[in-house]
Structure 1
Amino acid sequence: MASLRYFTGPMNCGKSTLALQIDFTETSAGRRGHRFTRQDRSGEARISSRLGMVEPAVEVDDAFDFFAFVTQDIMAGRRVDFLVCDEAQFYTPAQVDLLARVVDDLEVDVYCFGILTDFRTELFPGSRRLMELSDTIELLQARPRCWCGRVATHNARVVNGVMVTEGDQVAVGDIDGERPAEVRYEVLCRQHHRRRQTANVSGVALPGDPLPFGDAGDGPR
């Protein structure tokens, strides 16, 4: 039976690499499918891995209809066995509903790949809907590390060298025009994300939250 699977994790954990690997494995087995992406780091209409692999893909926008796309393919006599959907955190909840319909009504396997939470530690709408609907949710095991050595769990947005926790949810790569600020992303552990302590400021002794203890004279130690 077909299924909807969501592979997720923070940045740098190999999501796009796995997406291209699954596409290669499925195609090598004689199955036919399509690749989709939205706002890939390397540009439109492609899936790119930080390891250097790049493959063309169908670019998704808010008006894109997955069910209509696959249905038209099938009606034209073309077999569709699977979909590989990268950057799925940027899909709309309605598009995730359409992907579930592709699985249920057309018996097509759907593999989605995306980041779970944004730089504010809030769920992306597409990821939230995938968490609600997916048959299987898999946290990728190739875990990136914070500059301190701990496993990284949070994505930080850095603007002009300063970590920010406010702003538009989506800001891909460097921004010019109306917002010329240099934007980049960094993975951090929860502690350093909470303290807004990126690698650039890791040499600064930032105070943590006060511990829930009184002064030394308040009672026994």
Structure 2
Amino acid sequence: MAQLIFFTGPMNSGKSTLALQTDFTETQAGRSGRVFSRDDRAGEATLSSRIGLEQPAIEVTDELDFWSYVIRELTQGRRVDYLICDEAHFYTPDHIDQLARVVDELQLDVYCFAILTDFRTELFPATRRLVELCDRMELLQVRPRCWCGEPATHNARTVDGVMVTEGDQVMVGDVVPSEDRVVAYEVLCRRHHRRRMTAAVAAVTMNPEPLPFE
């Protein structure tokens, strides 16, 4: 039976690396798939990993309809056995419904790779829909660590080095936008995300672990 599988974990847990590995493994077995991504840090129509691996991908836009795309490929005689969907947190809920239909009605495996929550600790609309519809959700076993050494569970956004908890939900990091603000991301444990204590703040704070009461 084909499945819609949702692989998730915080930033730096190896989601894109696993997406690349999954495509390679499926290809080695003689299967033919399509690789999709959206707003990848390396640029449009690319699936890239922070460890330096990358390959071309089909860029997902709001207008893309996965069901129509796969039907068109199949009716034109091109083989499709599976879909790799990276950066799926940037997709729309409609995209996820389309992917579920591809699994159920065409019996194609769909592998989605995405962050579960945003920098505000809120679910992305697409990942909420993935949780509702997926056949299986897998938490990646590679666990990044907060600067304190504890397992990191939350993604923090910094603007000019200062952690923020407000702003647009989608903003690609490690860039310098037109207003010359440097946007970056850092993984933190829940405790330090709550305290807005990034590695930079901890480095300049005499007592980085305040008492938990006034």
**Same fold (TM > 0.5):** yes
What is the match of residue 44 of structure 1? 44
Match of 1:210 among 206, 209, 213: 213
Residue identity in the other structure for 2:146: C
Report % sequence identity: 64
Q: Which residue of 2 aligns with 1:12?
A: 12
Question: What residue identity is the alignment partner of 1:31?
Answer: R
Unaligned runs of 5+ in 1: 212-221
For the Cα contact (< 8 Å) 1:195–1:208, is it kept in 2?
no
* Alpha-carbon separation, structure 2, partners of 1:119 and 1:180: 21
Structure 2: give runs of 5+ residues left out of the alignment.
none
Quick one: distance in 1 between partners of 2:21 and 2:211? 42
In structure 2, the residue corresponding to 1:202 is in which secondary structure? Answer: helix
In the TM superposition, what are the counterparts of 1:23-42 in structure 2 within 5 Å?
Answer: 23-42=23-42
The yes-or-no answer on 1:148 pairing with 2:148 is yes
Q: What whole-Å deviation, never above 9, does each CA across 1:49-84 have from its counterpart, x for those lacking one?
A: 111111000000111100000000010111110000
Matches within 5 A, 1:101-180: 101-173=101-173, 174-177=175-178, 179-180=179-180
CA distance in 2, matches of 1:161, 1:78: 48
1-side partners of 2:51 and 2:145: how far apart?
A: 17
Contact 1:46 1:58 in 2 (8 A): yes
Distance, in Å, in 2 between the alignment partners of 1:54 and 1:97 is 27
Q: Which residues of 2 match residues 191-202 of structure 1 at below 5 A?
A: 191-202=191-202
How many residues get paired?
Answer: 210
| Deviation per residue, 1:167-213 (Å, 9 max, x gap) | 00011022422x431100000000000000000011312535417xx
> What is the alpha-carbon distance in structure 1 between the residues aligned to residue 18 and residue 26 of structure 2?
12
> In the alignment, residue 91 of structure 1 is paired with which amino acid?
Y
Q: Which amino acid aligns with 1:32?
A: S
- 8 Å contact from structure 1 (residues 62, 92) kept in 2: yes
Asked whether the equivalents of residues 3 and 110 of structure 1 are also in contact (C-alpha less than 8 Å), the reply is yes
SS in 1 for 2:197: coil
Cα RMSD (Å) = 1.1
Aligned to 1:219: none
The structure number with the bigger radius of gyration is 1
Give every structure 1 segment of 4 or more consecutive aligned residues whose post-TM-superposition deviation is greater than 4 Å: none
User: Which residue of structure 1 lines up, in the alignment, with residue 90 of structure 2?
Assistant: 90
Residues 88 and 208 (structure 1 numbering): CA distance in 2 closer, same or farther, change over 3 Å? farther
Letter in 1 for 2:90: F
Q: For 2:91 and 2:105, locate their aligned partners in 1 and report how far apart those are by CA, in whole Å.
A: 20
Q: TM-score, normalised by structure 2?
A: 0.96
Residue 100 of structure 1 aligns to a residue in which SS? helix
* Range that drifts further, 167-176 or 13-22: 167-176
User: Which amino acid counterpart does residue 195 of structure 1 have in structure 2?
Assistant: R
Alignment-mate amino acid for residue 176 of structure 1: P
